[in-house]
Each structure stands twice: as structure tokens, then as C-alpha cells.
Amino acid sequence: MPLRATLVFIAAFLFGCGRPDSDSIRLTGWIASPIEENLTRTFIDTFEQRHPGLPVRYEPITANYMDKLLLMLATGTAPDVVMIEAFWIPLLVEYDVLLPLDGFLVRDPGFFPDDFEPMLLDAFRSNGALYGLPKDYSTLALYFNPAMFAEAGLAEPPRTWEEFAEYARRLTRDTDGDGSVDQYGYSHAEDLEYSLPFVWQNRGEYLDAQGRAAFGEPAFAEALGFLQRMKTDGIAVMPSDVGAAWNMDAFGRRRVAMAISGLWAANFLNETHAGTPYRAALLPAGKKAASVAFVAGYAVPKRTRNPDRAWQLLRYLTGREGGRIWVKSDVGLPARRSIALESKIERDPLKRVFLQSLDHARIWQFRVNQRVLDETQSVLQAIFLTGAAVQSTLDDLKRRVERGGQFHADVRGHESQSRSGPPR
């Protein structure tokens, strides 16, 4: 069987889609949580009520989202509207599988694209064209347990790296008096996106202005060295060190007093560790403040058979009415400024922290191939799990990726839910 025919057959088998009713607008996305799943179905119900001639067929992908979506995009079997993280825009534009949306915006003056936070909208641009629209976002912030802080005589969250390390030291304790530590100050996740805020705060870069590897530079190594020393000093742990699935699981189990995550972690804590108190604060700053912003949105495949119908659903999902539905969850903050103001985000003691972090955040998005990401992840694991020497390990990584040739293309296999913890 020819390769193309094989791919089409596999796609049809995996998704049971064949050739659906042409009257339906097909929609897909990843399943992040019951809350977001229910909100999506609310979207569909309200959209169909307002557009009785435009039924929606929802086809969520339960696992390996990007692997399956890439297969469908390559074979022309993708739904008409697809959920996408901004991280993937450079790859999908390079593959030429997304439909530019600029023409729809020109013909639809009532959509008000200027209402979006500019940096969030720009995350879906490439070479001047717009290939998606944001629905929500989250930055990274510091979660801390106020009860543990009070027991250690701490009232406010740490503001600098020095305070961060000192707080972690004071919060690392033998709480039951058996002679062994059972509470640690901080749990770090070895994923790149959780180390990047420290790198950027130290004026370091993962890539330089020309898109070349910069992770061998001293500023990058110094940031990772700071985090590694916290672990070596016994005041920080990796989730696996305390039998946790991810860093917020360690926090929820009260094995650590501080952990870094996005707004999505609030739902996890409320559902899984309801008895654990928590608050959030801006990340402790190094030479400057920095955070990472994760942006989720929707796009239309280039080979859709229903571009005009797809636009109707897309504009609803990312429009003002759609924004009012998304804001009901703690999955992310609204991408539209009018919705953020209307819902008084700045008055919410938790959400306003993530909103304030946007002022010094950078989008989680790199145009690098999967080999570079995989090798970076292996190096971070070696540094944080085995105590490998930071500078020499990073120097070796730089040599390997440069010797490997192609640096930018062929980004495959990286999960859309790349950050630690339950997928959004």
C-alpha cells in the first residue's frame, strides 16, 4: 500500500472520522480536565443555539495530541478547527498546514482583534501572517503554603534568589521529630520551561538573536547552577525524590512548601489535594524579573473543506462571548483585555499574580527541532537528578547539537502538554 494511502487509513482508523457529514463543523482539542471538557461542550451548545444551521461535531483527542494532529494535518483529515498551543506555530507554518486568518479579520470588523493582549496575538503570527487566535494563557508563578510559612516564621513570599534559597532552607524541616527531613523548601521540575525563568532572570538565553544555541554561555549555566545547589544542599527536591508525579503533586502532598506552576495547577490542587492551603506570588527575581507565558488557542487547517464555517466557530470560541465562558474556569486567563477587565481579574488574589507576571513574561515558543529539545531534556535530567557538572554538561550539549547539523526544522513528537503535570 502506498505511504500516503497508509497514513490516510491509519488516521481514519485512529479517529473514526472517515468523511463526516459535510454540514458539521468538526472541532478537536486535548482533554485537560473535566472543567475544561465541560466548558467546551457548553461552547458547542451555545454556538449551535445561536447558529442553528451550523452543527458542531466535537472530536477530542485523549492522548498524544500533537502526534495525532500532525498525522491528520498531513493526510488532510484534520477537523475544521483545532486547538493549538503557540509553541507549535513555527513548526506548523513551516509545514504549510494552517490557513492564514488575515482575510477573515478584514471582512469581519466586529471581531475586534485589537482587544487581544498584543503579545498573545503575536504568538500566532509568522512572517506577518496570522495563523491562529488565542483563547487563554497562563504565566508561571510561585505557589507557596501559607501554613508552612507561618510555622517557619515567614510572612511574605521571597522576592529575590537569595531570599528564595534562605526561605527554602528555613522551610526544610523534620516535622515529626524522627530525625529525618520530611518537608522540603522547594520542588523543581527538570523541564526546560521551568528553568527558563531563572535563565532569563540571569540575562541568559536558550537561543541567541540569530537562533543559534546559547545554552553554553555562563549566564545559562549560572542559573542552572543556582537551582542545582539548592538540591545539593538538601533544601530542594525533584518530584520523584518524594514519590510525587510532578512538582505540584509534591506540593499538594505537603512534602514541599514552594513550587512553580501555572494557573492550571489551581484546579489540580482543588480537586486532588483540597486540604492543602496555597497562595501564589511573582517568581523571585534575579538580575531582572522574568516568567514564561503559555498560550493556547485555535487554528484552521489549510485543507479544511469548510473555511467559512470554520471561521464562524473560531470567532465564537475566541470572541468576547467565548471569553466570558472560558473565564469561568481556573485553567487560564482570558486572552482579551475587555474580558479581563469585565471579570475583575485584578481583584482575584490568585489570578492577578499570573496577570501581573505577563508584564515580564516571554512566550513559550522556540523554532528548534525535536532532537535539540530531547537532548536538552536529557541534560537537565542529568544536572538535576544525577548532579552532573553544569558547565561541562551544557558545553557537551552545545557540541552535540551543533555537530548534528539541522537545528530548526522537523520538530516532531513533542507533546502539546509539554509542561509538568496534568495536561491542560
pLDDT of residue 368: 83
Distance CA 400, CA 417 (A): 26
- Phi then psi for residue 207, to 5 deg, are -125, 150
pTM of the predicted structure, to 2 decimals: 0.90
265 near 179, Cβ under 8 Å?
A: no
79 near 26, Cβ under 8 Å?
A: yes
288 near 203, Cβ under 8 Å?
A: yes
Distance CA 228, CA 216 (A): 16
199 near 178, Cβ under 8 Å?
A: no
3-state helix/strand/coil string of the chain: CCHHHHHHHHHHHHHCCCCCCCCCEEEECECCCHHHHHHHHHHHHHHHHHCCCCCEEECCECCCHHHHHHHHHHHCCCCCEEEEEHHHHHHHHHHCCECCCHHHHHCCHHHCHHHECHHHHHCCEECCEECCEEEEEEECEEEECHHHHHHCCCCCCCCEHHHHHHHHHHHCECCCCCCCCCEEEEECCCCHHHHHHHHHHCCCCCECCCCCECCCCHHHHHHHHHHHHHHHCCCEECHHHHCCCCHHHHHHCCCEEEEEECCHHHHHHHHHCCCCCCEEECCCECCCCCEEEEEEEEECECCCCCHHHHHHHHHHHCCHHHHHHHCCCCCCEECEHHHHHHCCHHHCCCHHHHHHHHHHEEECCCCCCHHHHHHHHHHHHHHHHCCCCHHHHHHHHHHHHHHCCCCCCCCCCCCCCCCCCCCC
Distance CA 383, CA 236 (A): 14
Q: For each of the chain's 424 residues, which pLDDT tens digit applies? A: 444 444 444 444 444 444 445 689 999 999 777 777 888 888 899 999 999 999 999 999 988 999 999 999 999 999 999 999 999 999 999 999 999 999 999 999 999 999 999 999 999 999 999 999 999 999 999 999 999 999 999 999 999 999 999 999 999 999 888 889 999 999 999 899 999 999 999 999 999 888 889 999 999 999 999 999 999 999 999 999 999 999 999 999 999 999 999 999 999 999 999 999 999 999 999 999 999 999 999 999 999 999 999 999 999 999 999 888 888 777 799 999 999 999 999 999 999 999 999 999 999 998 888 888 999 999 999 999 999 999 999 999 999 888 866 565 443 333 333 343 433 3
pLDDT of residue 104: 97
237 near 244, Cβ under 8 Å?
A: no
CA dihedral (9, 12, 16, 19) positive or negative: negative
pLDDT of residue 420: 39
pLDDT of residue 402: 84
